[in-house]
Structures are given as structure tokens and as C-alpha cells.
């Protein structure tokens, strides 16, 4: 069937911290061997947010030696998602920045609300995307445009994301704030055996 993994760190805009990465790794590991799973949808349970990227408050408290370990763990977790043996869909009903967009890029298919905001914004912080974005974005939209978006840290909406091929489907947001999730479910149902 369809498995939905929902991010829910509302107080931190679903920012990726050590604990959330640990939970995501555990969930992804369980999915790898579950033969009943046909599709995995990654979504947010927090209105208006998909994932704000790395938890910069937690990161600021880390010793410099911990930072590289954290980035490696984030990269490994996102790579494990990308390597799941079933189709994966990111339902982007809100903001997906930095590691949040990298998480979405690791999915096979991306669906977003037209109002969703997306970008690899790390260069504004004098760092580079560390969880695969520098590889996955060019493969998705082409090298030149990917470089422009990464160098400028530009944030784009769902309509522009669709026009450049970053996402497969763009939908108008609904009152419930889950239009992308609903479209993702419809797409996932197409993958189920009839």
C-alpha cells in the first residue's frame, strides 16, 4: 500500500535535528524490508511548512567536530530515502528550504502547491548544500540553472518550480493546506496494482 511519513516539529518548522534524523532513519530502515509497501509519500503535518532545512539553533550549539558528523548523518539519511526500493513522492504544501528541498529532491516525484516556496539557501549562510542538493538539483533541472539557483540562494514558488522541471505537479493550495498531499495520494494510487 501507500505509506505516509509526516514531519511534525511544529515549533521548529520541521527543521532537521539529530532526533528527527534518527527517527527518519529508523522509519526508512523499516520500509526497506516491508514488501507490502508500494509507494512512500513524505509530507508535513505542519501547515505552511514542508521542512525549513537543518536546525540552525541546534547546529549553533554543536562543537565544530559535531557539525561534520551531523551533516554526514543528514546526507546518509537522505541518501537512504533516495535508495528506497519503491517510488517516493514529496508533497510540498509549504516552505522547503535548504535541507528541506534536498529531502524533496531525494524523492522520485515532487508535487507542490503553487504557493510553496523552495530554494537551496545555504550560500546565504556562507555554506553549501550538504545533503546531496548540489548533485540532485543539476540532474533534475540542468547544470546551468541549478548553479544559478544555488549561487543566488533564490527562493522560487511552485509555479516557477514546475516551469523549470523541479516538480512534476503544481496545484492551487486549498483551505485545508494539503492540496499537494492530496495530489501526491492520487499519483501514488496510480502505482497500486489494479
Q: Active-site residue among 53, 98, 99, 158?
A: 99
Q: Is 122 a catalytic residue?
A: yes
d(CA 94, CA 171): 12
Q: Is 148 a catalytic residue?
A: no
Q: Is 172 a catalytic residue?
A: no
3-class state of residue 95 by DSSP: strand
Q: Active-site residue among 15, 74, 102, 130?
A: 102
Q: Is 45 a catalytic residue?
A: no
DSSP-assigned states of every residue in 122-183: GGGGT----SSHHHHHHHHH-HHHHHHHHHHT--EEHHHHHHTTS-SEEE---TTS-HHHHH
Q: Active-site residue among 122, 131, 180, 184?
A: 122
Q: Active-site residue among 15, 52, 53, 54?
A: 54
Active-site positions read 54, 99, 102, 122
Amino acid at each position: 500500500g501507500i505509506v505516509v511519513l509526516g514531519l511534525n516539529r511544529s515549533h521548529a518548522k520541521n527543521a532537521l535535528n539529530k532526533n528527527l534524523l534518527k527517527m527518519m532513519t529508523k522509519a526508512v530502515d523499516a520500509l526497506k524490508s516491508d514488501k507490502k509497501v508500494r509507494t512512500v509519500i513524505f509530507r508535513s503535518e505542519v501547515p505552511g511548512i514542508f521542512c525549513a532545512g537543518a536546525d540552525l539553533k541546534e547546529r549553533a550549539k554543536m562543537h565544530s567536530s559535531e557539525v561534520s558528523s551531523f551533516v554526514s548523518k543528514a546526507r546518509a539519511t537522505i541518501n537512504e530515502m533516495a535508495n528506497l526500493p519503491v517510488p517516493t513522492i514529496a508533497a510540498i504544501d509549504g516552505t522547503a528550504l535548504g535541507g528541506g528541498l534536498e529531502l524533496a529532491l531525494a524523492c522520485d516525484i515532487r508535487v507542490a502547491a503553487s504557493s510553496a516556496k523552495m530554494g537551496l539557501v545555504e550560500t546565504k549562510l556562507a555554506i553549501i548544500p550538504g545533503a546531496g542538493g548540489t548533485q540532485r538539483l543539476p540532474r533534475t533541472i540542468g547544470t546551468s540553472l541549478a548553479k544559478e539557483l544555488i549561487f543566488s540562494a533564490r527562493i522560487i514558488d511552485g509555479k516557477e518550480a514546475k516551469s523549470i522541471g523541479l516538480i512534476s505537479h503544481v496545484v492551487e493550495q486549498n483551505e485545508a493546506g494539503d492540496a499537494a498531499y492530496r495530489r501526491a495520494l492520487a499519483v501514488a494510487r496510480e502505482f497500486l496494482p489494479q
